[in-house]
Amino acid sequence: MKKNHKGQNESLEATNSQPETKRPDYGYVYIVKNPSLNEFSTCASEKPLKRGAHVISPTRYGLDYSVVVAPARTNNSYEPGSTHIHGACVHFEHDSDTDSHSCPHSAITQEGEEEAILIKEDADWIERVATKEDYERYLELLSMEDEALILCREKIQEHNLEMKLVAAHYLFGDPKIIFFFTAANRVDFRELVKDLVSIFRIRIELRQIGVRDESRLLGGLAVCGRDFCCHGITDKMNPVSIKMAKEQNLSLNSTKISGPCGRLLCCLSYEYDFYNEEKKRYPSEGSRLKIQNELMRVTEVNILSKTLSLSGQQGRYLTIPLSSVAYNNDNSRWEIDQTFIDEFLSL
């Protein structure tokens, strides 16, 4: 059953219902990435597949050309310092020595390497492993998208519409073009759709997206020098707030904590939970610690170096390690270890 999506969309034909395919009760579950739409989905497969295998799988827009990122079920746990971690940054490139498109069955693993699991009835299934012909058609559609972008931009200018065209995508499984655009206000593009249908002679869908989705779709280099997280790692747009920057003691200068999309950096949310948990082990900023007969104020808590910065009277400044501080449940206050004080005063 086709689900309706919110937003400005225009479609010229109804999707034809296709007969349901009988699927087995057990299968293999994978995380699949669609490179054109840059979206991730979880799909089941009747056969075990290798990481990086090219497949034809369902997306929220229809069947499309995709790549297997990794098994959705894995027993591999992360070990600190390990460099053998596979993320979701999988691009559509294949090894010439083991060309999966000239021999599609090379994308299938040997029986027994993975364990089949019970699949739910509403699960999405990978349609098939992509063939060499599928790959050639995928490249042909990619080349046609550039021309579609130019023609659509010309028509937007003719109709004087306040909208910015971001990308065009030919759907692999259906004769349909999806145009993604951004706009400050609602746009009446009914006449535009009629013109596009008369040119392309296939179904046309216009979809309005936000500025964060624009970065996710197009990609680029972030301030860290790597690919946008929303483009190369995940397509989930988690909410990001200025509070996350404050908790991590980052500069609140908007130019330093904002991405090219103009919104707060997605990576601010990655370590937010870690900082919240770690700060429970530290005295809060502004609290006071007693060193002999002097009360010193905590001015800074450095989570990464595991140190506290203290300031006292007459401009006295002191940095102490976290290991020298402990919470006294009897007195309900933070105290500095007496052994550390004795060693510090003896220097």
pLDDT in tens, the chain (347 residues): 444 444 444 444 433 445 566 788 889 999 898 887 788 888 999 989 988 899 999 988 889 999 998 888 755 554 554 555 554 444 445 443 444 444 444 465 544 467 788 888 888 999 999 999 999 999 999 999 999 999 999 999 999 999 999 999 999 988 999 999 999 888 899 999 999 999 999 999 999 998 888 888 888 888 888 888 888 777 677 888 999 998 888 888 888 888 888 889 888 888 888 888 888 888 888 888 887 777 888 888 888 888 888 888 877 888 888 888 888 888 778 888 878 777 766 65
CATH number corresponding to 136-212: 3.30.300
Determine the pLDDT at residue 101. 45
| Helix, strand and coil percent figures for the chain, each rounded to 5 | 25, 25, 45
3-class DSSP state for residue 125? strand
How far apart are alpha carbons 32 and 68 in whole angstroms? 5
For tokens 């203290």, what's the residue?
Answer: 310
Return all residues near 126 (Cβ < 8 A) that are at least 6 apart: 30, 32, 43, 44, 45, 46, 49, 55, 56, 57
How far apart are alpha carbons 107 and 16 in whole angstroms? 31
Query: CA separation (Å) from 51 to 67, 90, 133?
Result: 8, 9, 21
Listed in order, the ranges of the chain carrying CATH 3.30.300 are: 136-212
Determine the pLDDT at residue 19. 53
The amino acid sitting at 30 is Y
Determine the pLDDT at residue 38. 81
Could you tell me where the DSSP H helices lie in the chain? 132-158, 190-200, 211-218, 229-232, 242-247, 254-257, 272-279, 338-346
| Nearest in space to 108 (alpha carbons), one of 117, 100, 116, 120 | 100
Q: How do beta strands 117-118 and 54-58 pair?
A: unpaired
